[in-house]
């Protein structure tokens, strides 16, 4: 099997968590890390046993020993960094949310097509065996026709206007940071883009949403009720209600367990702890797609990234939440 070589763009928080899975990768390895600061890149490479460290993102995308660039910078920079990599002929695995808005994402997809490279949003939830088991149970009719999804992802973040979670210039706000998970989950489970989108948000002192509640309606009549926030710790959980039962998925964004309730009886139908953080599933999938010469992932297709982005654009338009780099237009 051809080993696919990944290069990390941005040696920050998520890149460090991602590397915890690097030693378990099959058919993929990390060959280079780039930071805007060479000493930082070198320290990151030494800490994680990465053979090469470079002091600019330009040097990373020019590296001959990199096939796929993993874009691990804050969301307002995803477009710029993905374009840099794809114009240099590199495939791209781009952290969630794929971009700030649909317009940016369309630019990125056009660039991927023009350069004949693979592009995937790193929505890691999709690749966990627990998520795949839920999809399988739905397809097998375990709960009958899916009617409703409820999901929430909220945690208490220490207020700091300079932190990327709160800073508008760094794409702050609950919706883009964690709200994309329940939206993407509902899109995955219903297998379609929402037909209508509504929602309310509390906008905090920095001008970004600190809490929100979202309602989606899907073609065929399914609905979703979703919450995301930076204000309070909540159990991160999804529940899928069908005509004949319910599936409950604790920690749905990186699940280890799935429970099935039918006729008042609940049983655990999936219980599989994974190693480390669980990023290996998405990385190995992206490597498989690249090996097969695919332009997009069948499991995390471009259309789903666009559907999630369109829903988030519609919500932000209602809330009047525009980021500084959007020039007044989401």
Ligand X SMILES: NC(=O)c1ccc[n+]([C@@H]2O[C@H](COP(=O)([O-])OP(=O)(O)OC[C@H]3O[C@@H](n4cnc5c(N)ncnc54)[C@H](OP(=O)(O)O)[C@@H]3O)[C@@H](O)[C@H]2O)c1
Q: Tell me: does residue 42 bind ligand X (CB under 6 A).
A: no
With CB atoms as reference, the residue minimizing the distance to ligand X is 12
Q: Does 124 bind ligand X (CB under 6 A)?
A: yes
Binding to ligand X, residues 309-328 (CB under 6 A): none
Question: How far is 14 from 279, CA to CA, in rounded Å?
Answer: 10
Least CB distance to ligand X at residue 125 (A): 8
Among 77, 84, 93, 134, binds ligand X (CB under 6 A): 77
Per residue, the 3-state secondary structure of the chain, as one string, reads: CCCEEEEEECCCHHHHHHHCCHHHCCCEEEEEEECCCHHHHHHHHHHHCCCEEECCHHHHHCCCCCCEEEECCCHHHHHHHHHHHHHCCCEEEEECCCCCCHHHHHHHHHHHHHHCCCEEEECHHHHCHHHHHHHHHHHCCCCCCEEEEEEEEECCCCCCCCCCCCCHHHCCCHHHHHHHHHHHHHHHHHCCCCCEEEEEEEECCCCCEEEEEEEEECCCCCEEEEEEECCCCCCCEEEEEECCEEEEEECCCCCCEEEEEECCEEEEEEECCCCCCCCHHHHHHHHHHHHCCCCCCCCCCHHHHHHHHHHHHHHHHHHCCCCHHHCCCC
Compute the least distance from the CB of residue 35 to ligand X, in Å: 3
Q: How far is the CB of 254 from ligand X (least distance, A)?
A: 7
CB of 23 to ligand X, least distance (A): 19
Q: How many residues line the site for ligand X (CB under 6 A)?
A: 20
* Residue 135 among the catalytic residues: no
95 binds ligand X (CB under 6 A): yes
The reply on whether position 96 binds ligand X by CB under 6 A is yes
Contact flag: residue 40 with ligand X (CB under 6 A): yes
Q: According to CB under 6 A, which one of 4, 19, 60, 74 is a site residue for ligand X?
A: 74
Q: How far apart are CB 180 and ligand X at their closest, in Å?
A: 8
Rounded Cα distance, 124 and 121, in Å: 9
Segment near ligand X (CB under 6 A); pick from 71-79, 151-159, 215-223, 322-330: 71-79
Closest approach of ligand X to the CB of residue 4, in Å? 19
Interface with ligand X, residue 164, by CB under 6 A: yes
Stretch of 36-44, 199-207, 283-291, 320-328 lying at the interface with ligand X (CB under 6 A): 36-44
Out of 40, 52, 90, 96, the active site residue is 96
Contact status: 6 vs ligand X (CB under 6 A) = no
Phi first, then psi: give them for residue 174, nearest 5 degrees: -70, -40
Q: Which residue lies nearer to ligand X by CB, 75 or 90?
A: 75
Residue the block writes with tokens 């781009």: 94
Q: Is 79 in the site for ligand X (CB under 6 A)?
A: no
52 sits near ligand X (criterion: CB under 6 A): no
Q: Indicate whether 70 belongs to the interface with ligand X (CB under 6 A).
A: no
What is the rounded end-to-end Cα distance, in angstroms, of the chain?
A: 43
Q: Which residue among 10, 130, 199, 245 contacts ligand X (CB under 6 A)? A: 10
**Catalytic annotation, residues:** 96
Residues that bind ligand X (CB under 6 A): 10-14, 35-37, 40, 72-75, 77, 95-96, 122, 124, 164, 177
């Amino acid at each position: 099997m051809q080993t696919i070589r990944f290069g990390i763009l941005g040696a920050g928080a998520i890149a460090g968590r991602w590397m915890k899975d690097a030693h378990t990768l099959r058919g993929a390895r990390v060959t280079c890390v780039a930071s805007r600061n060479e000493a930082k890149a070198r320290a990151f490479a030494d800490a994680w046993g990465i053979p090469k460290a470079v002091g600019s993102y330009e040097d990373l995308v020019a590296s001959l020993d990199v096939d796929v660039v993993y874009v691990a910078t804050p969301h307002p920079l995803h477009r710029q960094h993905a374009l840099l990599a794809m114009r240099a002929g590199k495939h791209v695995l781009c952290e969630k949310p794929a971009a700030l808005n649909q317009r940016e994402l369309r630019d990125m997809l056009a660039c991927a097509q023009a350069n004949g490279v693979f592009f995937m949003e790193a929505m890691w939830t999709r690749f966990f065996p627990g998520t795949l088991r839920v999809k399988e149970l739905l397809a097998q009719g375990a709960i009958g026709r899916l009617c409703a999804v409820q999901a929430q992802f909220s945690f208490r973040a220490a207020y700091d206007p300079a932190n990327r979670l709160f800073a508008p210039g760094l794409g702050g706000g609950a919706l883009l940071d964690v709200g994309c998970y329940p939206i993407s989950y509902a899109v995955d489970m219903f297998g379609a883009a929402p037909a209508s989108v509504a929602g309310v948000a509390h906008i905090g002192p920095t001008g970004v949403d600190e809490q929100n509640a979202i309602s989606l309606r899907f073609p065929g009549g399914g609905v979703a009720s979703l919450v995301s926030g930076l204000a309070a710790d909540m159990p991160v959980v999804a529940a899928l209600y069908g005509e004949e039962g319910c599936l409950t998925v604790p920690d749905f964004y990186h699940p280890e367990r799935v429970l099935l309730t039918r006729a008042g009886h609940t049983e655990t139908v999936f219980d599989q702890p994974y190693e480390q953080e669980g990023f290996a599933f998405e990385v190995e999938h992206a490597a498989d797609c690249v090996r097969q010469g695919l332009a997009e992932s069948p499991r995390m297709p471009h259309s789903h990234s666009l559907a999630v982005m369109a829903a988030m654009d519609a919500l932000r338009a209602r809330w009047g939440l525009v980021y500084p780099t959007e020039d007044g237009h989401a």
